[in-house]
Amino acid sequence: MSKMNRVKIAEQEPKIRATNFEEVCLGYTEDEAVEEAARCLNCKNPKCVTKCPVAIDIPGFIQHVKNREFEEAVKVIAKYSALPAVCGRVCPQETQCESKCILGIKGEAVAIGKLERFVGDYSRVHNVDISQTKSKNGKKVAVIGSGPAGLTCAGDLAKDGYDVTIFEALHEAGGVLVYGIPEFRLPKGTVVKHEVENVIKLGVKIETNVIVGRTVTINQLMEEEDFVAVFIGSGAGLPMFMGIPGENLNGVFSANEYLTRNNLMKAYKEGYRTPIRTGSKVAVVGGGNVAMDAVRTAVRLGAEGHIVYRRSESELPARAEEVHHAKEEGVIMDLLVNPIEILGDDAGNVIGMNCIKMELGEPDASGRRRPIAIKGSEFVIDVDTVIMSLGTSPNPLIASTTEGLEINKWKCIVAEDETGLTSKKNVYAGGDAVSGAATVILAMEAGKKAAKAINEMLAN
């Protein structure tokens, strides 16, 4: 094989995988990983690192993989990231690290994500110990939310000797890693569980079933339970709806509900008691990763899956790999289409969706070409289930129950870029709670920065 192309990675056959929830991509073997790592030019001034939000020493860990020093590679990544097996799987590498790889100019970029994933998986399978921490300093820090931001912040603080407790509203830790991203992209029982356990091994306590703002308030944590600092990593979990007629018919779901039932509650598994309504023809409205996850879930539950998106394929915000996988699995792309009404029968069940065709106009403020409805182009898509995947916004619960915590007009917590410090003393925030819905790795970056800032503040 030419050096210009990356080493092929094994995947489940599309026809087979479209009927199960097993992971699609099977990952590199040791030999394949070594071969792919050997393609890396080990640049003196590595551009890939500049595009990684947590600035992992990418050539550093890849050289160890090339030399079969896998344990060393694990330790290099552990300095920067607590969730390599997750990020290697879910980061949009084509717009991050891999976008700047020199090899990508004439051929294919080094498969940095797949190599990171290999290292993360190696660490799990071989139980590499990365639980070194400084001696305990007796200071208590509370972390709200156990998603990527909270786990990262908690892990880093524990390494610095803090006594950290994570408060999680759901019954399981992991945030979007457990309720949002499906098993076929991110296995829960192995990958996510192991990375959460790594954080617990550092001495972090996780209290599930605690909703900050209801079960306990930030002030109570600080005044009655002696937490000297708080990090809010509560995410952006509030689903948006379109506000079109028929949205409350039976058979219309938010992607959050559909995915939570399936991923967190395991509705697809025999013996689990949470039901899920699949339908035979499912339209998912939206074009992000969540939309792809929802439609591929519906396909696996036996439905014909449609993506209904108002822009064209090149504007799809989802990861390129997921769009490719979705198409391979038979998902039908209804592009440049926007729903205007959901239609129901007399019993209130969805029987179709009235849509309008769109064309792209001038670029808007975000630089994307604005979709414009084509007059008179209305048509009906015949579906019995509609899943709205239009994005999410932060839950206002914490802000509304914490005096002095400033939020902006999008209900996002206002926090300093470099430190995560909020308008409230000793309270920090990061991840989607501050930025609105973004990526796992950006949440981790925010968690890291806040941990550093909290440590600097408390060390004085």
Partner 1 sequence: MYKIIEKRALAPQIFLMDIEAPRVAKSAKPGQFVIIKMDEKGERIPLTISDYDIKRGTVTIVVQTIGCSTKEMENYEVGDSFLDFVGPLGQASELMSESIEELKNKKIIFIAGGLGTAPVYPQVKWLNEQGVKADVIIGAKAEEYVIMEEEMKSVAGNVYPCTDDGSYGYKGLVTNKLKDLVQNEGKKYDLVIAIGPMIMMKFVCKLTEELGITTIVSMNPIMVDGTGMCGACRLTVDGETKFACVDGPEFDGHKVNFEEAMRRQTMYKTQEVPKNEGIKPGCGLGGTK
Residues of this chain that bind partner 1 (CB under 8 A): 169-171, 208-211, 214-216, 237-239, 241, 243, 247-248, 250-251, 253-254, 256-257, 260-261, 265-279, 301-302, 347-348, 392, 395, 397
Residue with Cβ nearer partner 1 (92 or 237) = 237
H or E element at residue 207: strand 205-207
In whole angstroms, how far apart are CA 298 and each of 12, 57, 170, 284, 367? 18, 39, 24, 9, 32
Based on CB atoms, which residue is closest to partner 1, 53 or 237? 237
Q: Least separation, in Å, of the C-beta of 236 and partner 1? A: 10
Q: Which is nearer to partner 1, 57 or 257 (CB)?
A: 257
Residue count of the chain, please give it.
Answer: 460
State whether the Cα torsion 177-179-185-188 is positive or negative: positive
**In whole angstroms, how close is the CB of 17 to partner 1 at the nearest point?**
17
CB 241, min distance to partner 1, A: 6
- Tell me which residue has tokens 């972390």: 143
Considering the complex, state which of residue 84 and residue 344 has its C-beta at the smaller distance from partner 1: 344
Which residue, 11 or 247, is less far from partner 1 as judged by CB? 247
Least spacing, CB of residue 210 vs partner 1, in Å: 6
Per-residue burial over 289-327, b if 16 or more Cβ lie within 10 Å, else e, is bbbbbbbbbbbbbebebbbbbbbbeeebbbbebbbebbe
Cβ proximity to partner 1, 250 vs 419, nearer residue: 250
Residue 84 or 145: the one with the smaller Cβ distance to partner 1 is 145
CB of 382 to partner 1, least distance (A): 18
For partner 1, give the closer residue by CB, 271 or 367: 271
∠ CA 329-334-339, nearest 5°, is 130
Cα–Cα nearest to 383, from 313, 296, 285 = 285
Decide: residue 417, CB within 10 A, 0-12 exposed, 13-18 middle, 19+ buried.
exposed
Residue 50: Cβ within 10 Å count:
12
As measured in angstroms, the least distance from the Cβ of 183 to partner 1 is 12
Tell me how far, at minimum, the Cβ of 243 lies from partner 1, in Å: 8
Relative orientation angle of helices 112-125 and 70-78, to the nearest 10 degrees: 110
- Name the minimum Å distance from CB 81 to partner 1: 26
CA–CA distance, 144 with 430 (Å, rounded to integer): 10
